[in-house]
Each structure stands twice: as C-alpha cells, then as structure tokens.
Amino acid sequence: MNVEFPVELSGAKSSTLMWAHEYEVGAQALQQLRNIAALPWVHGVRVMPDVHLGKGATVGSVIAMYQAVSPAAVGVDIGCGMEGVLTSLTAADLPDDLSGIRSRIEAAVPVGFRSHDQPVSIRRLGLDPRVSDRLWGSFNELHKGVQQRESKAQKQMGSLGGGNHFIEVCLDDDDRVWLMLHSGSRNIGKELAERHMSIAKELPHNADLPDRDLAVFLSGTPQMAAYRRDLTWAQTYASQNRATMLALVMRAVRESFTQEIRFDEPISCHHNYVAEEHFDGLDLLVTRKGAIRAGAGDLGLIPGSMGTGSYVVRGLGSERSFHSASHGAGRRMSRNEAKRRFTVDDLIAQTAGVESRKDAGVLDELPAAYKDIESVIAAQSDLVEVVAHLKQVICVKG
C-alpha cells in the first residue's frame, strides 16, 4: 500500500485527491484543478502523478460528474489511447541494424499529417468488419459541420498523427519483443470536440464559470445527447484506428522475418474518454483526460518517453482513484520550452540505442521534456501493479 499518496488538494471545493505533491505541480495546473473542483456538477476529482497543464481541464485528471460532462475534460483527441501486443520474437531474433524494420513500419503506417491514399481494407487485415460498418453507417448522424469529412476520416483510419503519438518495438526484461502504439481519433475527433466545445460555451448555465473552457453539457438536454452520440462515435473510431495500425505494424514485422511469428491478445486502453461508472452510491459520468481505467484486473499501458521505456500494468481497483491510473510519464515542460532549452545533440544523446528520428522535428519529444517514468509508476503503487517493463529499440514518431 502506498502510504505517501493520495493527498488532498488545498483550496478545492469538492473532494480532490492527488497522487502528486502540490509542489511538484505548476501553479497554473493547480488553479485548473481548483476551477474544475468548483463546478457544481462535480462529485470528485482525482489527480494522477503525470498531471500537467491542459486546455480547460488538466491532463492527468479524472473528473466524476453527476448528470453533466465537460468536453474539455475529455480533450480534443477523443479516445486517444494505447495498444500493445507481445510477440513470439526475442531480442536474439532482431537484426543488428533495425533501420529496415523501422522503414517497413513507416511505409505501412502514414505519420504526421499524412493519410492512406485509399481506405485500408479491414477484411484483408483480418479485423472484424462490423465495427467499421457501424462507424461509416452512422457517419451521417454526426454533427452537420463534419459531414464533408467522411472521405478524409476513412483515409486517416490506420494512421498515426503527430505530436506525442508513436509506434514502438520494445524489449521486456525477459528480452521478449513487444509492439506498442499511441494514437487517437485523428482530425475527425478534433473537429467534433471543438464544435461541441463551442456549443457548450454558449449555453446559459455556463455563463458564470471561472473558466469558460470548462463549459458543460447537462443530462436530459439535446446538446448532451448530441455530444454523447458524437463522443461515442469518436471513441470507437480511435479504438478502430489503433487496431488497424497494430494490424499493419504486425504485418510489417512479419514481412521483416522468415520465421513464423505469433502474437498474443492485444492490450488496448483509452486515456481520453468518458464512461458511465458507479462510485459512492451514485451513477456518475467519469471523464479520464490523460488517465486510464485501472479496475481490478484491468490491463493497461503506461508509456514514458521515446528514450526511457514504458510499463504494462494491471489495475488494483482503487476506489479512492475512481479505478484510475496515469496514462504516461506526463510532460514536465512545454514543447516551446523544450525547443529553447535543448538541441538536436541532446536528443541524439538521450535516445542512444533507439532506432528513431534524431532531428529538430521531434526535439520537443526528447526524454528530458517528460517526467521520470519510474517515479510516476512508484507514486501509484496502490493503483496498479507492474506486469512488465518495456524498453524501446525502435521508435516511429509523427
């Protein structure tokens, strides 16, 4: 049992428990958390050890609301999350030069702003087509402002995006090879989120909020129904996007070896989403923005940075955290600050031994821009148990 955490956030108007000390969290992020906790619909806030400033709502926060949802508490990348799978390969099977495998992965999965030239055939990848059939069969029910985006969304299915999204080949402590990736709902999720955020800000009940970015939708209203519809669709899109990418990466890896390769059941988890859950005798809408569900037995993935490794974890079902844990190491400085303070030489040094990009385009993603992943894991020992520690040998960035 972790005897150090949680701690109460000072000055919070509703129950706010933190798996981090206030002195470790920036003043702006602390104020964001207090603003969130002051909303009249909030039952409680839980703050993960990877907490840092976000837009409206803090990244690394779990917000349980009664009959209300704040789109900013989900974020613009609806359904963003992780996918990982253990392979039958071992370190001994990997070639000394990993650039060929990296090139195959980059050829299979578009990164950055790129997308596929044509929609990926789900059936050819061996995925269940019913999920995609439901997605595209209900596209015309989404917000009218995205109706011209269907073709783009179809071509972006199975693409990585940029920023902190990645695809990795990793080794665990037993030298077994894992594949892992991090991505979300691409442009269509962002467009849906921003359109609903704009709608929420104009609703009368949000007029006097301490931060208009925290505007909420209320249960029983047409605006809430429309948001929940589009939110659910985007969460499904994000999950299918990751499943498609993982299938493409698995195929690229298969084509890199002559022997047969087996894959375990994938581990999949959202970390920007809303779920209906029951705590403290109440049916609540629980928003995790930069947090994963860590119910008893739930498997999850908590990545560090592109040079420090990641963790496979199993949830312990902590009621105090609303069955939640961190989604990663969490940034300790902004992207602009990282670019000011570090050079490409720093990036090269900090990603030594990893087959990856080593250029100014990913400088803001270097390990020093992130919190120490081991400390983040240690701070939540009462929330998750470690199943495996992974260290990347290949990292593909957008």
pLDDT digits (tens, 9 = 90+) for 19-68: 999 999 999 999 999 999 999 999 999 999 999 999 889 999 999 999 99
- Average pLDDT of the chain, as a whole number: 96
What residues contact residue 305 under an 8 Å CB cut-off, 6+ apart?
329, 365, 366, 367, 369, 370, 373
Its pTM stands at 0.96
Let me know if residue 175 belongs to a domain. Answer: yes
Structural domain tally of the chain? 1
Q: What is the pLDDT of residues 81-93, one digit of tens each?
A: 999 999 999 999 9
Is the predicted pLDDT of residue 2 greater than 80, yes or no?
A: no
What residues contact residue 114 under an 8 Å CB cut-off, 6+ apart?
159
Q: Is 166 labelled a binding residue? A: yes
Let me know if residue 358 belongs to a domain. Answer: no
Let me know if residue 177 belongs to a domain. Answer: yes
Let me know if residue 360 belongs to a domain. Answer: no
Helices 129-137 & 222-254 angle (0-180, nearest 10): 140
Report which of residues 284 and 3 the model is more confident about. Answer: 284
Q: Is 330 labelled a binding residue? A: yes
* Domain housing 36: 7-332+370-397
Q: Is 2 labelled a binding residue? A: no
Residues 159, 110 contacting (CB under 8 angstroms): yes
Let me know if residue 347 belongs to a domain. Answer: no
Let me know if residue 126 belongs to a domain. Answer: yes
Q: Is 278 labelled a binding residue? A: no
Let me know if residue 231 belongs to a domain. Answer: yes
Q: What pLDDT band is residue 1 in, cutting at 50, 70 and 90? A: low
Residue 334 DSSP class = -
d(CA 196, CA 86): 38
pLDDT for 153 equals 98
CATH for 116: 3.90.1860.10
Mean pLDDT for the stretch of residues 7-17:
97
Let me know if residue 345 belongs to a domain. Answer: no
Q: Which tokens go with 298?
A: 């739930």
In the block, which residue shows the tokens 């985006």? 149
Q: What are the residue numbers of the active site?
A: 327
Q: Is 21 labelled a binding residue? A: no
What residues contact residue 334 under an 8 Å CB cut-off, 6+ apart?
none
